[in-house]
Chain A
Amino acid sequence: MKEPVLEVKNLTTRFHLIDHTVTAVNNVSFTLHENEILGIIGESGSGKSVTSHSILRLIEEPGTIDKESRILFRGRDIMQMSEREMREIRGSRISMIFQEPSASFNPLFSIGSQIGESLRIHMGTDRKSAEKEAARLMELVHIPNADRKASDYPFQMSGGMLQRSMTAMALACTPDILIADEPTTALDVTTQAQILGLIKEKQETSGMSVIFITHDLALVEDFCHRIMIMYAGRIMEIGNASDIIHRPRHPYTADLLRAILRPGMLKGKDSLFSIPGKVPSPGEIIRGCAYADRCSRCTGKCRNQEPELTGNVRCWNA
């Protein structure tokens, strides 16, 4: 087994609202190994994005991370670091790609100078060579005429180009960990394939590790090494990607897999399975298993007592 780069232990992140508290991430523990791609899969409100933001300590008021939580980056606890140490890590050792590329660039600066910024800050590169390097990075992410495009402003680029540029920015300092938070959700399928290709290419050549967050289970099976299924802030199942896809143990995973439309299915011939009910709303008090209301294998025990994550699955009946 390869060395762990990141160990998350008992991460709990809460948001304190006026009249109640929402536990967005509930006692989540997992390990990310060297050169591994870990997929985090979940629907909206499952806590997948809050988990990734917690790793970089990007949680702001009224959110807090519980004191018992440990986030060990190469053995050092991120929770104990000063804000200054954090700044050195963010964007340099651990970097992030966000979902909405057009909202993540400053409209007033050229793409090249924004990509170069992290080189200037973290590597001390001077302005001229940083912009040159930025153009080189843009070429690496297959942007045509990168030299010229580097002086373009965000509004001049298409969504796909911007997401490629953001990938270039995230990869500028060759990070140890790349967190990609739904990087392709807003993109067309052809652009999606290109962005996934870029991330995979970089992971294979530079040895970085990747946390890949998505709601699309169909995307991860051959892209990720391991996957983690989240629901209502909890890990429901974690394990080897192809095992989970081919032999899901948690009923939620199995239901999700059945509910995905496969290309070639036809309305008259194939019926489409749909999971009844809806995702629990944030702040809803859950007594037993979070999935009990929608689960076909639910028993009395499931409603009263929450199962632990044992043997990589959180279910009384697995």
Chain B
Amino acid sequence: MLKAENLTRHYNLKAGKFSGSTAKVHALNGVSFTLERQQTLGIVGESGCGKTTLAKTILGIERPDAGHLYLDDDRDLYTLDKEEFRKKRMEMQYIFQDPYMSLNPKMQIKDIITEPLLRTGRISRREIEVNALKILDMVGLPQSSLHKYPHEFSGGQRQRICIGRAISSQPKLIICDEPVSALDVSIQSQILNLLLQIQNELAISYIFIAHNIAVVLYMSDIVSVMYAGRIVESAPPEELYRNPLHPYTKLLLSVIPEIGKNKRIFEKKITGEIPDLINVSPGCPFYDRCPVRQERCALELPPLQEITPGHLCTCWK
């Protein structure tokens, strides 16, 4: 349904007043994937790994420097004219991390959650309330929320409002960018369950982005691990958990807290720094932190290869 090929985004840093340097931040380097209907692609990685740039590029908020994106047909989204792109863009919605900053405080809930639907032209202004009630019901909010404003809701309820807004135009794809990391533990599981339920009811595909590998493993059908703007490993969640291949995936799994396991994560020795995205080395970006690095790794970038069916990894070992 959705196919991305070689998405690349390099940000230009402004040249200084005195030096004419034209440095580039290599935020996204050749990311490719495919996503089927009603499936979830999970993206996991730490801050600065390019997760959000990837999301913005898919939505066309950022134009890539290279790469192609196809939704449903063989027309590259980035070659479409403005009007055609806008139509395609309506098939995609976005749920942000912070439900406090992503809702207009001056709008009533009924207007917020029906705005994308109204924009499609499928309903008229008079039909707002009827549709808003349906959506409220789907995301588990009381009907009395209709005329309220965002400040009257808690964090978890606001995230429900955001989900309602995202599903209102019945999109094919929703990009969820850290949708639960700002929420309390007891609320996180409510929202995750709601997202799963809605996916089953509406057959929506998700791109689920988070830094917490446990959450991504739970929500996804395919998990891609990102590091320094690249996918370094990709596999179905069970396979990735049981048989991680890339040393970075192993590191992530070793430091994620796990209750009842006495993992003693504070004793893990983590050396090296995250790579510089401006002066990119020709070798593997994980070289500096890698416990199994070899000479070759500093010089040559390992390609993303299929190791076993469905399990891709980029590592010379």
Residues of A within 8 A of B (CB): 43-44, 144, 158-159, 188-190, 192-194, 196-197, 199-200, 215-219, 221-223, 245-246, 255-257, 259-267, 270, 272-276, 278-279, 281
Contact = CB atoms under 8 A, between A and B. Distances in A.
A222 B262 contact: yes
Contact of B256 (A245, A263, A267, A273): A263
A65 B192 CA distance: 39
B218 A218 contact: no
Nearest to B273: A144
A190 B271 CA distance: 10
Interface in B186-224: 186-190, 192-193, 196, 211-215, 217-219
27 contacts: A189-B256, A193-B265, A197-B266, A215-B185, A218-B258, A218-B259, A219-B265, A221-B260, A222-B262, A222-B263, A259-B189, A260-B185, A263-B214, A263-B258, A264-B242, A265-B217, A266-B217, A266-B218, A266-B237, A266-B238, A267-B219, A270-B218, A274-B187, A274-B190, A275-B186, A278-B154, A279-B154
Contacts of B238: 264, 266
A223 B266 contact: yes
Q: Interface size bucket, B side?
A: 35 or more
B268 interface: yes
A311 to B, nearest CB: 23
Closest 8 CB pairs of A and B: A218-B257, A274-B189, A196-B266, A188-B46, A43-B184, A263-B214, A275-B186, A274-B190
Q: Of B262, B263, B265, B270, which is in contact with the most chain A CB atoms at under 10 Å from its CB? A: B265
Given A159-B47, A245-B260, A217 B241 contact: no
Nearest to B211: A188
A57 to B, nearest CB: 28
A248 to B, nearest CB: 11
B133 interface: no
A279 B186 contact: yes
Contact of B214 (A188, A222, A262, A281): A262
B257 A259 contact: no
A188 B155 CA distance: 22
A158 B262 CA distance: 29
B274 A259 contact: no
Contact of B255 (A192, A257, A267, A273): A192
A273 to B, nearest CB: 6
Contacts of A246: 260
Contacts of A275: 186, 189-190
B156 interface: yes
Contacts of A279: 154, 184, 186
Interface in B253-301: 253, 255-260, 262-268, 270, 273-274
Contacts of B118: none
B3 to A, nearest CB: 23
Given A193-B255, A261-B215, 9 more contacts: A197-B267, A246-B260, A256-B185, A264-B241, A266-B218, A273-B189, A274-B189, A279-B184, A279-B186
B138 interface: no
A222 to B, nearest CB: 5
Nearest to B47: A188
